[in-house]
Chains A and B, each alone.
Chain A
């Protein structure tokens, strides 16, 4: 009775045949396609052989369904695994079974093309990832080299600026001491002028006294006159010295202004250079405030991570 049981069972009557077919069909209805209708009994002489036709029809139907189920399961799992060479065999199937099989074959071919396109896109993506990685590696190496050179230059420039500020400050000190010297000179000249003014007064008094003495004082008057002209010359020379001292002082004031301006500019430059050095080497206090070299390394690491992800996907 059961298809798995070897041997052929004779079924005598059509009633029995119907019972057997019913059981086979019931098993098939519940998804058991292993059952087939066994050989049925021959009819009595003169009777039509209905049972044999019924058996062939039912078994043929089950064979078609069985083949279709096996093909659809195997072909779709093959397609899912990318084994597109394993097609859905429509051959041997008939009517709607065959057209459905052809439809599935067509779908598999479309999936196969799509899979091939995906594979191609993936290959291109891999190639792109390789190119990107290599390009970023080159750039980051160049940036790191440039950053090192820039850092060295910035440090040299900072040293130079500090030296320049020191020199300028020393210059200002020198000029300031020049001004102090000028003040002392002015003080000395004032004293000389006072002495000259008193000398002139003394000369005037001597001239007056010489005039009162008449001819007896005439010699004395000549001396007084000489003293007066000497005092006048002293006064004139003092004025010249004062104007020279004023000129020196004005020049010194200008020099200080210029030196201060230069110093301020150099200090500003120094700040800029320090900014460059921080940009290149990174801030001293902030670990995350990375310099150019560190940024290049971060970029390289990020791209490497990105590329690894892309390669995996």
Chain B
């Protein structure tokens, strides 16, 4: 576990179309399982990942509003897709098309979350990067995190309203013919 905050180097890392980055967390978002591909791309040892909160790989370019939406959706026990840029421990970044779903026990209780991440297309990355730039700009006008989240969410809602799409539909629009 690196105690100091990692500085992004601007170097991008990608992974194969056949590969699936997998992590599991407990209900609070603490990593309980990380597959070998996650560790490789994130430049982490297993000891540095398991037991740590998932925001371990959080990149500063990610808007707060997207994570807010992610957790709100998961709390409703729904699946969510999101384009996410993650920060590896060596400062490199990598874009993923993340699919997060709740895991249930036999009684239907949420016992954690499971994230499958696939490599997104370049056009999808370009579009997501531009969208997140707009959301970040809205969020940066506020000092308090809760105000920033509200502003980022409002900016996202405005983009969606202008396009007449839901968040879900927009994400899949960007995915194009992939899948």
Cross-chain contact A74 with B79 (CB below 8 angstroms): yes
Q: Which residue of B lies closest to A90 (CB)?
A: B179
Cross-chain contact A39 with B46 (CB below 8 angstroms): yes
Per the bound structure, the CA–CA distance linking A63 and B115 in Å amounts to 10
- Name the interface residues of A63-88: CB closer than 8 Å to any CB of B: 63-64, 66-67, 70, 74, 83, 85-88
Q: Known A34-B24, A34-B111, A85-B169; judge A7-B50 contact (CB<8 A).
A: yes
Number of A-B contacts (CB under 8 A): 83
Question: In the complex, what residues of A have CB within 8 A of residue B30's CB?
Answer: 6
Cross-chain contact A6 with B168 (CB below 8 angstroms): no
Q: Which of A8, A67, A83, A87 contacts B20 (CB 8 A)?
A: A67
Q: Which of B33, B103, B112, B179 contacts A89 (CB 8 A)?
A: B179
A5 within 8 A of B: yes
1/0 contact trace for B14-25 toward A, CB 8 Å?
Answer: 000111101010
Cross-chain contact B26 with A4 (CB below 8 angstroms): yes
B54 within 8 A of A: no
Per the bound structure, the CA–CA distance linking A93 and B114 in Å amounts to 16
Give A195 Cβ to nearest chain B Cβ, in Å: 122
Q: Which of A8, A85, A90, A105 contacts B172 (CB 8 A)?
A: A85
B47 within 8 A of A: yes
Dominant SS at the A interface?
Answer: loop
Question: In the complex, what residues of A have CB within 8 A of residue B19's CB?
Answer: 92
Cross-chain contact B116 with A67 (CB below 8 angstroms): yes
Q: Point out which of B47, B51, B79, B112 has the most chain A C-beta atoms below 10 A from its C-beta.
A: B79
Cross-chain contact A64 with B20 (CB below 8 angstroms): yes
Residues of B within 8 A of A (CB): 17-20, 22, 24, 26, 30-33, 35-36, 46-47, 50-51, 79, 97, 99, 101, 103, 111-112, 114, 116-119, 168-169, 172-173, 175, 178-179
27 contacts between A and B (CB under 8 A): A4-B26, A4-B111, A4-B112, A5-B32, A6-B30, A6-B31, A6-B32, A6-B51, A7-B50, A7-B51, A34-B103, A34-B111, A34-B112, A36-B33, A39-B46, A59-B33, A63-B35, A66-B114, A67-B22, A70-B79, A70-B101, A74-B79, A87-B172, A89-B116, A90-B179, A91-B118, A92-B17
